[in-house]
């Protein structure tokens, strides 16, 4: 029996694509802090957030317009709620990024990682498993190393507190998504969520 015939009946191995996508998204996420800090030299924080999410919302709308015909009241309210929290998180983070270095902003924003299970426990009585806590510790430790903590000075001012508040809002947003994701169509909620952020930022900037 050749190796080819011996393995012909076996199921394919696990795909590495999800892992590669997560790594790619993480790299892009880290790079955006520096990009946003430079972009804020030419645009106000709310104008930038409105444009950023407006473009994303329009793209999502074009890709998902057929699914929107079945938009339910629950999905509309869920998208508006999550979008409002997301608006708060990105606005606070962007305001803070005007006052502190991008490396410190990235580190403080990463505090949402240990905050998510705390929000899930307090709001929905969802107790994380031991493996989840271990993953949180490893992720937070990696974040500390990537942020070069030797150059971080923890004398908290307005920029730091704004960024920490933004991180807490991100943790709340993730907790809400986890709570309602299984009850709604993801594309419809995503469109409402993105457009809600853009409209609220446009209103706040005027």
The answer, yes or no, to whether residue 27 has pLDDT greater than 50, is yes
The pLDDT value recorded for residue 105 is 81
Angle, in degrees to the nearest 10, between helices 130-146 and 102-109: 180
| Continuous H helices in 98-156 | 102-109, 112-124, 130-146
Q: Are 105 and 33 in contact (CB under 8 A)?
A: yes
In a 13 Å sphere around the CA of 168, the CA atoms on its Cβ side amount to: 7
SS3 26: helix
Angle, in degrees to the nearest 10, between helices 186-204 and 73-97: 50
* Burial tier of 61 (Cβ tally within 10 Å: 0-12, 13-18, 19+): middle
The answer, yes or no, to whether residue 159 has pLDDT greater than 60, is yes
Q: How many beta carbons lie within 10 A of that of residue 105, not counting itself?
A: 27
Q: How many beta carbons lie within 10 A of that of residue 107, not counting itself?
A: 23
Instruction: State pLDDT tens for residues 89-132.
Output: 988 988 888 888 877 787 788 888 888 888 888 887 777 777 77
Instruction: State pLDDT tens for residues 35-63.
Output: 666 666 676 778 888 888 999 999 999 98
% of the chain beyond a pLDDT of 90: 19
Work out the angle at residue 87's Cα, subtended by the Cα atoms of residues 89 and 65, and round it to the nearest 5 degrees. Answer: 130
The answer, yes or no, to whether residue 197 has pLDDT greater than 90, is yes
% of the chain beyond a pLDDT of 70: 77
Return the minimum-mean-pLDDT range out of 2-16, 65-79, 98-112.
2-16
CA distance 106 to 77: 30
The answer, yes or no, to whether residue 186 has pLDDT greater than 80, is yes
- Label residue 203 by pLDDT band (50, 70, 90): very high
Mean pLDDT of 175-192: 85
Phi, psi of 156 (to 5 degrees): -75, 125
CA distance 103 to 147: 6
CA distance 102 to 50: 20
């Amino acid at each position: 029996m050749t190796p080819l015939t011996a393995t012909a009946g076996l199921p394919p191995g696990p795909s590495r694509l999800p892992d590669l996508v997560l790594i790619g998204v993480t790299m892009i996420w880290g790079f955006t802090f520096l990009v946003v800090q430079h972009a804020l030299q030419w645009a106000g924080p709310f104008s930038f957030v409105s444009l950023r999410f407006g473009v994303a919302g329009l793209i999502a709308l074009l890709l998902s317009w057929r699914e929107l015909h079945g938009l339910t009241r629950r999905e509309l309210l869920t998208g508006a709620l999550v979008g409002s929290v997301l608006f708060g998180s990105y606005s606070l983070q962007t305001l803070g990024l005007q006052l502190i270095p991008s490396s410190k902003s990235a580190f403080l924003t990463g505090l949402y990682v240990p905050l998510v299970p705390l929000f899930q426990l307090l709001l929905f009585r969802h107790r994380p498993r031991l493996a989840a806590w271990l993953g949180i510790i490893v992720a937070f430790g990696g974040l500390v190393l990537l942020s070069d903590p030797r150059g971080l000075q923890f004398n908290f001012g307005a920029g730091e507190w704004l960024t920490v508040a933004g991180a807490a809002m991100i943790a709340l947003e993730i907790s809400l998504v986890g709570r309602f994701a299984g009850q709604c169509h993801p594309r419809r909620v995503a469109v409402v969520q993105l457009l809600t952020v853009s409209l609220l930022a446009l209103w706040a900037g005027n």
